[in-house]
Structure 1
Amino acid sequence: MDLLVLENILDNTAFAILFIAMLLYWSGAAFQNITLLPRLGSVGMAIANLCMAALLGARWLEAGYFPLSNLYESLFFLAWGITAVHFIAERTSGSTLTGVFTAPLAMGITAFATLTLPSDMQNSAPLVPALKSNWLMMHVSVMMLSYATLMVGALLAIAFLIVTRGQNVQLQGSSLGLGDYRLKTPSPPTEEPAISSPTSPSLATGQTAVLERVTTETLSPPPLLSPQRLTLAETLDNISYRIIGLGFPLLTIGIIAGGVWANEAWGSYWSWDPKETWALITWLVFAAYLHARLTRGWQGRKPAILATTGFAVVWICYLGVNLLGKGLHSYGWFF
């Protein structure tokens, strides 16, 4: 079979299976008594992962170089990385919960690559001279894996914010520990403020009734999270923290490798290219996240908000820079 035909079959198959896996995970979340659905979703994620690995392998054989030279190839490598990190998160947590969030992300990326990109951007092309280096595999693959890992961790932080919306949820215990988290919500006020009596000469009866109602509504605590939502929030926060802690060293190694390669190709370790600048911004955001959790003691929603910012920054660094500006890293993409 022609490799090009095989690639077309594999990319469409990966997209279709990820779509089915997403539906299975969502159905499993809606009907929690049917445990078979998320398990089938995990099987679908594994099949999609193998399809994308086979696609990238076929591209490697066809082009003769590691398949990370254009947007199509990098999108499928990113989706493959997300499905791989999904299984790490799933195995770490012992739950299929992460698929509810990772399956739509991987499916959306494959849909964009398969259905949106024009055919000329999907075809492999000869490498430009600067990319003909062994550093292509070392630098770009590590950077893409770091993007995939950080995206998954940040996405789970977004899910944590959704689950705990309206609640000032905090974690009991040290952020240095990777287990034994306990969640708590604010306690209701122990002292009732003094309320003017209905017979107070300074307030009319109608005014007093309004004051009592407003005060009661203002001081009453928000409804507490159910034990199920607390457990879900705890799981999401725990996994997010672990996954971001895995992605940050990968990002660091990738940036260092990129600097060495840049010096070899262009004679400078750092040139403040848009991609380099946003990679540094991404590094700083997630460094701040880990610093806040490890040394500042930030817990609960505050670090999750910081991780959510990191999710947007990663996408700007990976895709936005190449869509909106020209630079040394725009080979074979939109510019």
Structure 2
Amino acid sequence: MENFFNNCSFCFLFCSMAFYWIRAFFNIPIFSYFGKLMIIGGNLTMFFLLIFRGIHENHFPLSNFYEALIFLSWSLTFINLIFEIKLDDFIVGATIAPTALFLNAFASFQLPQSLQKLSPLIPALQSNWLMMHVSVMLLSYGTLISGSILAIAFLFLFERVAISTSFGPSLTSLTPRKINLLNKLDQLSFRSIGIGFPFLTIGILSGSVWANEAWGSYWSWDPKETWSLVTWIIFAIYLHLRLTQKWKGFKSAILATIGFFTLWICFLGVNFLAKGLHSYGWFF
């Protein structure tokens, strides 16, 4: 049953990306509808996969890196559906669906079986803080990644249209529809990051409390802790400049893009390349 849900979720996400890209490159509107249906299918199958593992493990299914990747992929599909309804444009699915597919494929085909198999909780994870800290951190990653991806989409569309005009990178040279799309991307990116930042803050604080219970220290400058703090600082700067200095559009999108790469270092790079208390990987 687990393999069934796993394979189905990958197929749904792959098809969703293909449909959204067909819509983007060949301008066939009906494929946006197909892409949305596939995203819904991927979301449901990953949800049932996590429920299945949770029942068999008899604990919240976020105890290893495989489950964290699947949960993050599920979060992205859920956010994708919300944003697509809000924006009413295929560009959301065309940008977020590939990331959800990458996480799903990495979990299913790249991680060794030893990190995928069902297993009991290690002593350090046998705490009520597991569901609180890990789920909140992953939700923060999902919303921050989604907001950053929309910022990258903003930059791509902004520069592409600017190059095609003789007026330079100015929004006044764009058509009303493209101006509206850019404004929506900018606002959705800001709202997503605005939601993800409090989640990240709560996740870091709850992790500190849990760390004190498990390891006897609120903060150990573990690589994961350090990069979480770096990520927090970057998005704090983003929100500060956005709210107080009225940074919008191009400038704020640049900051969000920097935050995007920092997030991936925090979530993937640290796990694989740095040995620490939070290590999930095997490259050390």
TM-score, with length taken from structure 2: 0.92
CA distance in 1, matches of 2:208, 2:80: 29
Q: Which residue of 2 aligns with 1:280?
A: 229
- Determine if contact 2:134/2:203 at 8 Å carries over to the other structure: yes
Report the counterpart of residue 75 of structure 1 in structure 2. Answer: 69
Residue in 1 aligned with 2:15? Answer: 20
Q: CA deviation at 1:232?
A: 2.5
The residue that corresponds to 1:222 in the other structure is 168
CA positional deviation for 1:167: 7.2
Provide the C-alpha distance between the structure 2 equivalents of 1:295 and 1:166, rounded to a whole number of angstroms: 29
Match of 1:319 among 249, 268, 272: 268
Query: What residue identity is the alignment partner of 2:271?
Result: N
Report the TM-score, using the length of structure 1 for normalisation.
0.79
Please give the alpha-carbon distance, in whole angstroms, between the structure 2 residues aligned to 1:334 and 1:66.
26
What pairs up with 1:129-278 in 2 under 5 angstroms?
129-165=123-159, 221-222=167-168, 224-278=173-227
Relative contact order, higher structure (CA 8 A, sep 6+): 1
- The one-letter code matched in structure 2 to 1:272 is W
CA contact (8 A) 2:235 2:256 kept: yes
Match of 1:11 among 6, 9, 12: 6
| SS of the residue 2:198 aligns to | helix
1:98 aligns to what SS in structure 2?
helix
CA contact (8 A) 1:82 1:102 kept: yes
4+ runs deviating over 6 angstroms: none
Question: Aligned with 1:164: secondary structure?
Answer: helix
Aligned match of 1:107: 101
Shift of 1:159: 0.6
Change (3 A) 1:334 1:59: farther
Is the counterpart of residue 302 in structure 1 residue 243 in structure 2?
A: no
Q: Distance in 2 between matches of 1:142 and 1:63?
A: 20
Partners of 2:282 and 2:53 lie apart in 1 by: 17
User: How many matched pairs?
Assistant: 280
Can you list the C-alpha shifts for 1:5-32, whole angstroms capped at 9, x where unaligned?
Answer: x111111110111110111111222344
Gaps of 5+ in 2: none
> 1:225: Cα distance to partner?
3.1
CA distance in 2, matches of 1:27, 1:315: 28
- Contact kept, 8 Å, 2:272 with 2:281, in 1: the verdict is no
Give the Å deviation of 1:37: 1.3
Alignment partner of 1:42 out of 36, 44, 54: 36
5 Å matches for 1:76-95?
76-95=70-89
Cα 1:331/1:155, change in 2 over 3 Å? closer
What's the secondary structure of 2:159's corresponding residue?
Answer: coil
User: Greater shift after overlay, 123-132 or 13-22?
Assistant: 123-132
Deviations 1:109-159 (A, max 9, x none): 111111222222211222221110010111001000100110010001001
Q: Which has the larger radius of gyration?
A: 1
Distance 1:114 1:331 in 2: 15
Tell me the equivalent position of 2:239.
290
Deviation of 1:166 (Å): 6.6
Is 2:91 the counterpart of 1:97? yes
Instruction: Confirm or deny that 1:29 pairs with 2:24.
Output: yes
Give the match's secondary structure for 2:197.
helix
Correspondence 1:65 to 2:11? no
- Amino acid of the residue matched to residue 277 of structure 1? T
- Specify the code of the residue in structure 1 equivalent to 2:14: F
- Alignment-derived partner of residue 203 in structure 1: none
- RMSD over aligned Cα atoms: 2.0
CA separation of 1:54 and 1:334: change in aligned 2, threshold 3 A: farther
Any conservation in 2 of the 1:289–1:307 contact (CA below 8 Å)? yes
Q: In percent, how many aligned pairs have the same letter?
A: 53
Distance 2:280 2:73 in 1: 20
> How far apart, CA to CA, are the structure 2 residues paired with 1:88 and 1:285?
25
Higher helix share: 2
**Paired amino acid for 1:147:** Y
CA distance in 1, matches of 2:281, 2:107: 14
